[in-house]
Amino acid sequence: DTVMTQSPATLSVSPGERVTLSCRASQSVSEFVAWYQQKPGQAPRLLIYGASTRATGIPARFSGSGSGTEFTLTISSLQSEDFGVYYCQRYNDWPPRVTFGQGTRLDIK
Amino acid sequence: EVQLLESGGGMVQPGGSLRLSCAASGFALNNYAMSWVRQTPGKGLEWVSAISGGGGSTYYADSVKGRFTISRDESKNTLFLQMDSLRAEDTAVYFCAKDGVVAAPQYFDSWGQGTLVTVSS
């Protein structure tokens, strides 16, 4: 089974700063990685799929990169509304299933 | 506009059963894969089950295989999750999620608001 490990567990950043979140897969997953943002009391929101494709309506300050086992979600200039927990997820597995990382909590300083 | 509305959650004793529903609007269920994803209070996300669009192939996480059954009613555009032999560790908020493609499961571009299932004596 693929294990998705996210780092750091928690991050506190000031508005306007650049943020980099990491996700490592225990085996190669090609580019089959998605990223989600979840705010308290809400459902997750899809940000990125295919490692680097922004979902519909996602601001350009969010970008994804990586392939194989190392992936990154970058927020180019942090906005106050970007707080929440960020999850990476692998897909296109066999047998068909998806696996989530444990999440990175992003707090606004 | 895509909308997903879950219902059917509640409290049940260990060994009991519960049936969750997810009413979909804004798209046809059989055109996309659909999944159930759960989240333990204060913890992360766990994929539970999926049904593909088209032919409706079904898939399950090992933790629920043999106990949970996913299905859909195309006439009502509604997704279901029949949960039997429930255990305390099944306690979670259950989300239904629409896949971005017809094959399942992949990435989820729309989610419901979630319904809480509590398994306790």
For A46-67, what is each residue's pLDDT tens digit?
999 999 999 999 999 999 999 9
Across the interface, do A98 and B46 touch by the CB < 8 Å criterion?
no
| pLDDT tops 80 at residue B109 | yes
Quote the pLDDT of residue B104.
82
**Mean pLDDT of chain A, nearest integer:** 96
**Which chain A residues contact residue B103 at CB under 8 A?**
96
Q: How confident is the model at residue B79 (pLDDT cuts 50, 70, 90)?
A: very high
**Which chain A residues contact residue B5 at CB under 8 A?**
none
Q: How confident is the model at residue A9 (pLDDT cuts 50, 70, 90)?
A: very high
Burial class of residue A58 in the structure, from the number of CB atoms within 10 Å of its CB (0-12 exposed, 13-18 middle, 19+ buried): middle
Across residues B11-34, what is the average pLDDT? 96
| pLDDT tops 80 at residue B43 | no
| pLDDT tops 90 at residue A13 | yes
Quote the pLDDT of residue A4.
97
Which residues are paired to B25 by β-bridges?
Answer: B3
**Inter-residue contact B102 to B70 (CB < 8 Å):** no
Chain B residue with minimum CA distance to A51: B107
Q: Write the residue in B107, B109, B111 that is nearest to A89 by C-beta.
A: B107
Neighbours of B88 (CB within 10 A): 10
Quote the pLDDT of residue B44.
87
Neighbours of A60 (CB within 10 A): 7
Quote the pLDDT of residue B103.
86
| pLDDT tops 80 at residue B41 | no
Higher-confidence residue of A94 and B69: namely: B69
Chain A residue with minimum CA distance to B116: A41
A with B: how many residue pairs have Cβ under 8 Å apart?
59
Quote the pLDDT of residue B42.
74
Q: Write the residue in A34, A46, A100 that is nearest to B44 by C-beta.
A: A100
Across the interface, do B45 and A55 touch by the CB < 8 Å criterion?
no
| pLDDT tops 90 at residue A28 | yes
**Mean pLDDT of chain B, nearest integer:** 95
In chain B, % of residues over pLDDT 90 = 90
Judge if the upstream peptide bond of residue A40 is cis by omega within 30 degrees of 0: no
Q: Could you tell me if A89 lies within 8 Å of chain B, comparing CB atoms?
A: yes
Provide CB contacts within 8 A for A103, sequence distance 6+: A6, A9, A38, A85, A86, A87, B44, B45
The 8 Å CB, 24+ separation contacts for A1-6 are A1/A99, A2/A26, A2/A27, A2/A29, A2/A90, A2/A93, A2/A99, A3/A99, A4/A88, A4/A89, A4/A90, A4/A99, A4/A100, A4/A101, A4/A102, A5/A101, A5/A102, A6/A86, A6/A87, A6/A88, A6/A101, A6/A102, A6/A103, A6/A104
Q: Write the residue in A42, A44, A49 that is nearest to B100 by C-beta.
A: A49
In chain A, % of residues over pLDDT 90 = 95
